[in-house]
Amino acid sequence: METVLNEETFDVVIVGAGPVGLLTANYLGAQGLRVLVLERMRELIDYPRGVGMDDECLRSFQAVGLAREVLPHTTPQHHLRFVTGKGRTLAALEPGTDEFGWSRRNGFIQPLVDRVLFEGLARYAGVSVRFGHEVEEVAQDGDGVTITARADDARHRFSARYAVGCDGGRSALRKALDIPFEGETEPNRWIVVDLNNDPLATPHAWVYCNHARPYVSIALPHGVRRLEFMLHDKEAEGDTVPEPILRSMLAEAGCDLDRVDIIRARVYTHSGRLAARFRDKRILLAGDAAHIMPVWQGQGYNSGIRDATNLSWKLALVLKGIAKDRLLDSYEEERREHARAMIGLSVMAGKVLSITNPVGAALRDAFFLMLNVIPPVKRYIVGMRFKPMPRYRHGALAYPHGVDANSPVGTMFIQPPVQRAPGHEPVRLDEVLGDSFAILCWGIDPSYWMSEQTRALWKQLDTRLISVWPDTQLGYQLARDGPDVQPIADVSGRLKAWFDRHGRGVVFLRPDRFVAALCGPQQIDATTQALRTALHLQSGDRP
């Protein structure tokens, strides 16, 4: 019988060192937890994959202190234009917004950013990554999870209180748990060609909705060009296409096969699939293990980053004994519906852009060209307002005034620039929020309205109390506010506009920057109690 070596114990075992596993490990490492990442490959995946990063994602990298290291591998304000076979613009996605503190659409090089996330783990003594460890078995009971991995010829066993399956679309954990992966695989195959020394040297991303052969051309950082061509039946030969076909496709995109510097050319199929459950007791699924989607909205990568951001703070609260295990149910409750909406949008976009029937393509073109002359519709498309923004109606939130479609509760809070002291350079809001909860108030000291019990509860959660003032008043307030409250100046006026729009001056922010609750000063105690219930906080000495 084969020997199983040395059982080691961790708080969390993460399976997979892709971006989702690595980000989760950064979040948990920052909380001082003991984390093991198991990766079956001998090194990080080094070929280009995801190319589109959104503003929410950059905000997550900011939260783990790595935005500055990630930025050199991004192109901000990266526009996406859909054009007809004749070059007429069907739709242009050019959102100029920076409401969350970062450019909404960014081109990026995934392996370089994955490496930043990996190197970021060196900051945490409690986190280790073991390459060359392929997870083969998983078992769980009421106390924890046991994972067995093969490394070379030996099998190693690890135990943890929780495990997170970030092991990609073919997730071994999802299969071991027998969780269905529901959805469809598109019939069309595509070849993805990445080139160094960009032979086109134009900015932005273009989708050519040419019915004879739709293709995509994307300028990426560091002179990389991504081309994706739809393949017709029988054109693919395994993972590649015959040279004459590749030559003619590249020529269509303006590139000469004899001169280009190919990094990788590989055939892919696109699928839209969603795991039936994101949680099975002590095992959670995140990233591609929980959902995969066609690339047309560039949201596969970003959706996984959202999972890591949503899950990590909840796991940390449970592992530290502050919240009950039930808090983890809110992970699936909050994330699954949004992932489903992103899959729907991505599948629909793929169907529209890859129409090969000339009549269908002409009708599509006529329809979108007509929409383009209706200014509100054009603004809707250009501003990407169709992108489903996460909006949680149930989960780790409190709606003291009832669930209300117009309430900002369950949405991501804005991130405008703020000032800490007169004359100081403005900083992004999250830099003053810290990495736990924050209570932000317009023009008051929130502690005045808090009972002792409320104050103690937020203190145990390391909550920052922040009062927001017009910049004219900051110096006066700094001299006056209590030691527990940090006054900041709203230098752009966006916070004032936000509180004005929502009609209440106290906002409770979760560590993932989502609005947990909103109330007036006199309801702070009652809202705190509602949140204590929604967050499943432990009673007793703990809050």
Q: What is the DSSP letter of 537?
A: B
**163 near ligand FAD, judged by CB under 6 A:** no
Q: Find the shortest distance in angstroms from Cβ 136 to ligand FAD.
A: 7
Q: Find the shortest distance in angstroms from Cβ 184 to ligand FAD.
A: 17
Q: Find the shortest distance in angstroms from Cβ 168 to ligand FAD.
A: 3
**12 near ligand FAD, judged by CB under 6 A:** no
Strand runs (DSSP E) across 76-204, as ranges? 80-84, 89-93, 105-108, 127-130, 134-140, 145-151, 154-165, 181-196
Q: Are 302 and 314 in contact (CB under 8 A)?
A: no
Q: Which residues within the stretch 298-327 sit at the binding site for ligand FAD (CB under 6 A)?
A: 298-302, 304
Q: Find the shortest distance in angstroms from Cβ 503 to ligand FAD.
A: 36
Q: Find the shortest distance in angstroms from Cβ 83 to ligand FAD.
A: 19
Among 167, 280, 481, 512, binds ligand FAD (CB under 6 A): 167
Nearer to ligand FAD, 166 or 179 (CB): 166
Nearest Cα to Cα of residue 344 among 293, 407, 270: 293
Among 13, 20, 67, 250, binds ligand FAD (CB under 6 A): 20
Nearest Cα to Cα of residue 356 among 189, 230, 217, 218: 230
Among 295, 361, 439, 450, binds ligand FAD (CB under 6 A): 295
Count of helices and strands (H, E) across the chain: 15, 26
Nearer to ligand FAD, 346 or 528 (CB): 346
Q: Which residues within the stretch 26-65 sit at the binding site for ligand FAD (CB under 6 A)?
A: 38-41, 45, 49-52
Q: Are 541 and 471 in contact (CB under 8 A)?
A: no
Nearer to ligand FAD, 22 or 30 (CB): 22
Nearer to ligand FAD, 172 or 315 (CB): 172
Nearer to ligand FAD, 14 or 507 (CB): 14
Nearer to ligand FAD, 21 or 395 (CB): 21
Nearer to ligand FAD, 50 or 144 (CB): 50
- The span of 64-72, 165-173, 235-243, 356-364 binding ligand FAD (CB under 6 A) equals 165-173
DSSP 357-376: SHHHHHHHHHHHHHHTTSHH
| Residue at 282: amino acid letter | R
Element (H, E) at 230: strand 224-231
Q: What is the DSSP letter of 426?
A: P
**166 near ligand FAD, judged by CB under 6 A:** yes
**294 near ligand FAD, judged by CB under 6 A:** no
At 177 the three-state DSSP class reads: coil
Q: Find the shortest distance in angstroms from Cβ 60 to ligand FAD.
A: 13
**165 near ligand FAD, judged by CB under 6 A:** no
Each residue 117-136 as x (binds ligand FAD by CB under 6 A) or -, in order, gives -----------------xx-
Q: Are 395 and 333 in contact (CB under 8 A)?
A: yes
Nearest Cα to Cα of residue 527 among 411, 433, 465, 449: 449
Q: Find the shortest distance in angstroms from Cβ 507 to ligand FAD.
A: 29
Edge-first strand listing for the sheet containing 485-489:
485-489, 464-469, 438-442, 506-509, 515-519
Q: 């999250």: which residue's tokens?
A: 430
Q: How many residues does the structure list for the chain?
A: 543
Q: Are 54 and 65 in contact (CB under 8 A)?
A: no
Nearer to ligand FAD, 165 or 408 (CB): 165
Q: Are 383 and 97 in contact (CB under 8 A)?
A: yes
Q: Which residues within the stretch 169-228 sit at the binding site for ligand FAD (CB under 6 A)?
A: 172, 192
CB-based burial label for 150 (10 Å; 0-12, 13-18, 19+):
middle
Among 17, 66, 117, 260, binds ligand FAD (CB under 6 A): 17
Nearer to ligand FAD, 26 or 463 (CB): 26
Q: Find the shortest distance in angstroms from Cβ 473 to ligand FAD.
A: 42
Nearer to ligand FAD, 218 or 361 (CB): 218
Number of residues counted as binding ligand FAD (CB under 6 A): 34
Q: Cα separation of 435 and 28, whole Å?
A: 11
Exposure on the CB side of residue 282, measured as CA atoms within 13 A: 19
Q: Which residues within the stretch 133-162 sit at the binding site for ligand FAD (CB under 6 A)?
A: 134-135
Nearer to ligand FAD, 269 or 451 (CB): 269
**447 near ligand FAD, judged by CB under 6 A:** no
Q: Which residues within the stretch 217-276 sit at the binding site for ligand FAD (CB under 6 A)?
A: 268
**15 near ligand FAD, judged by CB under 6 A:** yes
Among 11, 12, 13, 19, binds ligand FAD (CB under 6 A): 19
Q: Cα separation of 383 and 68, whole Å?
A: 26
At 379 the three-state DSSP class reads: helix
Q: Find the shortest distance in angstroms from Cβ 226 to ligand FAD.
A: 8
Nearer to ligand FAD, 209 or 531 (CB): 209
Nearer to ligand FAD, 300 or 417 (CB): 300
Q: Find the shortest distance in angstroms from Cβ 194 to ligand FAD.
A: 9
Q: What is the DSSP letter of 289?
A: G
**106 near ligand FAD, judged by CB under 6 A:** no
Q: Cα separation of 197 and 202, whole Å?
A: 12
Distances (CA, A) of 242 to 93, 106, 191, 235: 34, 33, 11, 8
Q: What is the DSSP letter of 189?
A: E
Nearer to ligand FAD, 131 or 399 (CB): 131
Q: Cα separation of 261 and 243, whole Å?
A: 15
Q: Are 4 and 148 in contact (CB under 8 A)?
A: yes
Residues forming the site for ligand FAD (CB under 6 A): 15-21, 38-41, 45, 49-52, 110, 134-135, 166-168, 172, 192, 268, 287-288, 295, 298-302, 304
